[in-house]
Amino acid sequence: MTDVDPRPAAPAPEGLVIVEGGPIRLELLPAVGGRLHRLRVFGQDLLRTPADLAEHVRDPFFWGGYVMTPWCNRIAAGSTAVGDELVDLESNFPDGTAIHGQVYDVPWQVRDDGTLWVRGGGAGWPWPYETTIRASIADRVLTIEQTLTNLGAGPMPGGLGIHPWFRRPLEVRIPAARVLTSNSDPDAPIEPVSGYLDLRDLRRMPDDLDAAWLDPGEPAVEAVWPDLGIRVAIRARSQAGVHIVAASPAWLDAIAVEPQTHLPQGLRRHLRGESGGLHLIEPGGTMRLVIEMTFARLSERDPG
């Protein structure tokens, strides 16, 4: 018998949308960016989840797991010409950048099949778009599918990603040979992994790391919660490519491990024709990012 729950996602008290099956229960919060509020596996909370839902509004960047689009991570605030269009963004982060897109804290809608969706654009981003997120569970696999559709009349550069804060302590493996050494430094180099940036073996992530790993292997990430006896294999796929951003602020009781379709400074990279830039979406076109998380107990065989 498989751990499948055939029931569709349904609204729950406090405005949550619940998706559950077998040992997995996911709670999403449409009112605040369609974000992942809680992820419980084998009865254990794996995300940094606030006791009060309003904390997601007060501090939208450091709880749960939120959608990043139409760009991920940092791009430059201010005016940037993109063909005949002008991107003119305000900073929303203390370092002066425009970070994590436009939809991480806005209200989303819920369709009958449990898909969460919102339309965005404006506020300095000249292209209208629609983005969705849908979660499903089969056996011990949580699948999260994101889409970004260009509703404008011309091509739109875009990106997709999700930003989960996983509770510490945990050990992480990212099987990638190249790394962008700093997400906050716009001039940081891409180098072969070495030293503390080499996460090809499972280990505790060093504190205050904030970097991006290019073209990870299969699976893209493995993580273990030793105290909880749980492990996960994370796979990700997109026609735009996949990179893994990770951050481990020493002051926080969680680390971020973020599958996304481009590197930080994705707009600049796109304009320069560099690898890791935003993906060009034609009018009416849709890009997708599919993330699969396969869970197992440490006492069981490899989660696959």
Distance in angstroms (rounded) separating the CA atoms of residues 60 and 34? 12
What phi, psi does 172 have (nearest 5°)?
Answer: -135, 145
Distance set, CA 50 to CA 46, 47, 94, 173 (Å): 12, 9, 23, 26
The pLDDT value recorded for residue 241 is 96
What pLDDT score was predicted for residue 301? 63
CA distance 9 to 101: 26
Note the pLDDT of residue 15: 87
The pair of structure tokens assigned to 53 is 């839902």
For 21, half-sphere exposure in the C-beta direction (CA atoms, 13 angstrom radius) is 21
Mean pLDDT by 10 residues, the chain (304 residues): 37 75 97 97 98 93 98 97 96 96 96 96 97 97 98 98 98 98 95 97 97 97 98 98 98 98 98 96 98 95 54
Q: Which pLDDT belongs to residue 14?
A: 62
